[in-house]
Structure 1
């Protein structure tokens, strides 16, 4: 009963906090401020965990949201103030100890200062009695209650809007909220994340890949709220000078990373969908470390092949093939109703217009500067818009795939500015360098 009362109290508090922040935003509008994408992002950041995750979802899903919102929410950061160690200690005791045990029986040392603190979890370094170094990923308080409450409120509001304004049904907002709920709740289950890590390790073993490693899960010290893994020592792959301490050629490291990830699309149960600078490391022994498997995606191999065909056709200005690949990608349930010739024509008009208007496409310089890469990202948003007008719908996890491709684009600007992801001989987009 006390737990039920506590949960109810937390729900009421959360609703009150949400109403308060929403009220302040409404006041800003009443004073004449324009209610645009930037204001919505600022409001989401004030509302915390759930809304930050929704903002990140918006930023990585150009197939569902307007371009100005996609661009605005790319600055939605997932960093939070660290929780006191006393809370971390309490969760570890609740989750890991059996009767008569103490934390000293399980760990010879736990660092009280966190390695990282995000909206869902906080990470601490620790040492096991046998000397193994591990990291402890500990879930923050009431994360599940907060998310369920927030998403319940959002779902109710969208249902009400659809009743009051029938035209809103065509925006399909309710299914989007349901999709966000599925993805976000999966991040709160560390047992599922442990399973994702094991899948990836099996993939590495099956393909004979010794260049990449993932942390080893300590099964007996892992629960839904605590994930214990071996600690990997290395540096983030964003500093080329620092990387040369542990490798001769950062560009080859980038190629090995890309080859592993592309092969995982073909041969693994899921692909890592959050390999940003904090989740990709060059280890001191020269291997590449993939960490944090809380967000993964699944994509049919044939969809990935069609995606690569579309990107190659874009480079070749072959709009007929590009249109065909967009349909083959499995992005529409009624492919026979798509006029591929008209789609190709619209793609040609849009891309020709962009190339004529933008100096970055007519400069004659290699496509590697930040300005040019940003323009390519904008072009991809335009391609999505054209596809939507023809009734084309992306596979569920295509947004995750696109987001990860943009992450790699940023890595390559730093580590391998002369590398072309789609034509470099060192990169195998379809995983052909790996045995099945």
Structure 2
């Protein structure tokens, strides 16, 4: 049986129909409590009206062809309901994401089409190296030379971004076993260079000019070919020697694909292997993916490089420098920076050949790192030997701006207190710094318990004083044990200091980081430096206004206690939690009323249909349809609010990460 519904409308009726569709799209969002733009509301109105019309025709059958008011009411009801359903679907599919760099549609499509094949390939390689069964069941198994070698071979055979992940992981001495760190440091990217024609095409596209017009000289042979970018030597038109880094074509597709596989594999490993859980493999993989993502945008790297250069120059440490980034020639895909003539400090011959003794080089490097961090809040977050060069004149250079830490003012001041407390073995200063660093959660921490743990830490690892990278890692553990949120910058600092210690010992095996740290903290902290006594005096002066009011406050409180004017009310819920609980109760009641209304309306419609054409059934049908619409609206509103809340919560979690 075919049902045809002829729509013979005049011009003004069509105008009214369009206005109706637009109105339904906008009003449905208001009813559901969903804020949308005009385009999304229009799409919801059009799709919802069409779906409602088709549904009404299917339900009414032969009577749908009759242009009666009851038929129009049914079409309207189904149209409104369908529009609200479409609105919720659009909210789920097109939910707003936090601002930030997002892959293009082409990248997402190509990533999705290749991820399955890549996943199968990675699983096969893992089985071949004994990493897909039950063999690596503990952290100890992965910490052995054999286990570390299998992990390294697995990453090498996977190639692509997995080698890059391993190279970054080799700097995580704070999380990974020493044997695994040693093995991962041997990873080498066997990456074929990008053909020079593609490099030149990329440069011409980015600069909107020919390579020979931009540079006076451009060397076609690459200086280095890495997994993300390829570097070439060049000279600008004004005669400056520069290094040009060009991002590999479509590298973001490989990054997104391998990142998805790595995260999936980490989740599976954490579920199955105790060793993966002990290593915190899922958290490590997330950090690696974020690190790689930052390296894809060279404008971000250029900004970090400029900030690091300003911080190091402001530290006024002789013989330490940072190459200048030519921001005017840098884009998201191309990075142009000053050329540095130097060798990595891991090159013993280069270090011995420079006119500056090894102890002086190590001292300069440490003072520049610490001063830039404490005074400007900017530091090199990955100071491994490959990122520290020494020139022929003894100048130490920080290179590679893909990992630069920026400390916010609150965390910076708290870090200064922590550093001074560790240098002077004052557990009170350390505890105060950690509490300030924790933000709103700090006042709720039991200060006596916190100081007790810090005191035990100082006595066990530092012999009562000093500054040691291991202590920073233990402070992170103490904060987590006390339920104190750890700022990401502090985690980055702890990791960087561990890496820096290894670099410093490579330059000068006799370098004592603890002794140097004590000297730096006591001379540079608290607004330009000063000894601990001067620092304590300044702290006392800052607290003097509050201290003066303490006697009066104590007297007022005592009088109120004596007169019975002070009482203590204990609330089960705080104001914020009480508001959240009330909102949940309201939504549960709202959904319950909607569900009852839906059931009653359905029973009325079924009863009217069973009774047939009798007096009063028309009224029952009308009441049933109205109740059905209202009850469905109530339930859909609850669903929309739940979807909205989940979207907001997910965005907040991603921003916090």
TM-score range, shorter chain: 0.7 to 0.9
TM-score, normalised to structure 2, is 0.51
- Measured against aligned partners, the alpha-carbon deviations of 1:257-294 in whole angstroms (never above 9, x if no partner) come to 22222222244363221222122222234432221111
**Aligned partner (choices 71, 81, 104) of residue 190 of structure 2:** 81
**Aligned partner (choices 336, 339, 363) of residue 446 of structure 2:** 339
Which residue pairs with 1:20 in the alignment?
A: 121
Please state how far the C-alpha of 1:413 moved relative to its aligned partner. 1.7
Q: Does 77-86 or 45-54 show the bigger shift? A: 45-54
Distance 1:379 1:26, change over 3 A: farther
**Aligned partner (choices 390, 395, 405) of residue 497 of structure 2:** 405
Cα distance in 2 for partners of 1:339, 1:280 equals 42
Cα distance in 2 for partners of 1:316, 1:98 equals 53
Cα distance in 1 for partners of 2:382, 2:518 equals 23
Which residue pairs with 2:387 in the alignment?
A: 279
- Measured against aligned partners, the alpha-carbon deviations of 1:350-400 in whole angstroms (never above 9, x if no partner) come to 676779xxxxx9xxxxx9xxxxx9xx6666545543442222332112232
- Measured against aligned partners, the alpha-carbon deviations of 1:56-80 in whole angstroms (never above 9, x if no partner) come to 66666688xxx55687356434631
- Measured against aligned partners, the alpha-carbon deviations of 1:12-50 in whole angstroms (never above 9, x if no partner) come to 234412332124425735765224553694445544455
Q: Does 223-232 or 425-434 show the bigger shift? A: 425-434
**Aligned partner (choices 201, 211, 216) of residue 93 of structure 1:** 201
Q: Does 201-210 or 18-27 show the bigger shift? A: 201-210
Which residue pairs with 1:393 in the alignment?
A: 485
User: Following superposition of structure 1 onto structure 2, how do residues 208-219 of structure 1 map, counting pairs within 5 Å?
Assistant: 211-219=319-327
Note if contact 2:119-2:261 (Cα within 8 Å) is conserved in structure 1: no
> Which protein shows a greater Rg?
2
Q: Secondary structure at the match of 1:428?
A: helix
Distance 1:327 1:416, change over 3 A: farther
Note if contact 1:266-1:430 (Cα within 8 Å) is conserved in structure 2: no
Cα distance in 2 for partners of 1:332, 1:74 equals 37
Note if contact 1:259-1:427 (Cα within 8 Å) is conserved in structure 2: no
Please state how far the C-alpha of 1:81 moved relative to its aligned partner. 1.6
**Aligned partner (choices 300, 306, 313) of residue 192 of structure 1:** 300
1:262 aligns with 2:354: no
Note if contact 1:116-1:123 (Cα within 8 Å) is conserved in structure 2: yes
**How many residues of Structure 1 are paired with residues of Structure 2 in the alignment?**
408
Distance 1:427 1:49, change over 3 A: farther
Cα distance in 2 for partners of 1:158, 1:44 equals 14
1:252 aligns with 2:360: yes
User: Following superposition of structure 1 onto structure 2, how do residues 173-192 of structure 1 map, counting pairs within 5 Å?
Assistant: 181-192=289-300
Cα distance in 1 for partners of 2:326, 2:234 equals 12
- Please list every run of 5 or more consecutive structure 2 residues that lacks an aligned counterpart in the other structure: 1-103, 271-278, 530-657
Higher relative contact order (CA 8 A, sep 6+): 1
Distance 1:323 1:302, change over 3 A: same
- Measured against aligned partners, the alpha-carbon deviations of 1:94-116 in whole angstroms (never above 9, x if no partner) come to 23358995433334544444433
Between structures 1 and 2, the one with greater helix share? 2
Distance 1:85 1:104, change over 3 A: farther
- Measured against aligned partners, the alpha-carbon deviations of 1:167-193 in whole angstroms (never above 9, x if no partner) come to xxxx99998876655443221111111
Distance 1:149 1:348, change over 3 A: same
Which residue pairs with 1:124 in the alignment?
A: 232
Note if contact 1:85-1:112 (Cα within 8 Å) is conserved in structure 2: no
Distance 1:139 1:385, change over 3 A: same
Cα distance in 1 for partners of 2:520, 2:460 equals 32
- Measured against aligned partners, the alpha-carbon deviations of 1:120-145 in whole angstroms (never above 9, x if no partner) come to 22222233455432212122232222
Q: Secondary structure at the match of 2:513?
A: coil
Distance 1:72 1:125, change over 3 A: same
Q: Secondary structure at the match of 1:292?
A: coil
